[in-house]
Amino acid sequence: MRSDKPWLPLEETQLERIGAQLGVFELGDVWGRVLYIGAADARSLFGLRGELERRIGSAARFRFEVNTAYKTRQQELLMVHFAENGRYPELNTELETRGLGRLS
């Protein structure tokens, strides 16, 4: 259930190839530590590309998955992160993590 996608630099040149699809993304620091797990939903202007463009400068790297079940996948990634680290990513808010189950 953990993302196995490669980390990419969070730079404008990398985002040019990403479409306006729905999906999930992770932002990470230079060491690959996950800082935020987010989703591009139907309200996201320009989908994944738009969500990532808004966050340039807030992280060093990103990875993403195109997925129409973006909310479920975001919750899965958050629960996996909590199970492995004992906490949620530091940039995710309580509103985004409230009511999530726990993995064993």
Instruction: Please write down the HEC assignment for all residues of 27-68.
Output: EECCCCCEEEEEEECCCCCCHHHHHHHHCCCCCCEEEEEECC
| Structure-token pair, residue 35 | 């800082």
- pLDDT at 39 > cutoff 90: yes
Q: Smallest Cα–Cα separation from 104: which of 89, 82, 75, 74?
A: 82
What pTM was estimated for this model as a whole?
0.94
Confidence at residue 101, expressed as pLDDT on a 0 to 100 scale: 86
Evaluate whether 49 touches 20 at the Cβ level (below 8 Å): yes
Confidence at residue 1, expressed as pLDDT on a 0 to 100 scale: 80
- Grouping H, G, I as helix, E, B as strand and the rest as coil, residue 23 is strand
Which residues share a beta bridge with 8? 62
Range 8-97 classified under CATH 3.40.190.10:
no
- pLDDT at 45 > cutoff 80: yes
Evaluate whether 62 touches 6 at the Cβ level (below 8 Å): no
Band of the pLDDT at 2, cuts 50, 70, 90? confident
- pLDDT at 51 > cutoff 80: yes
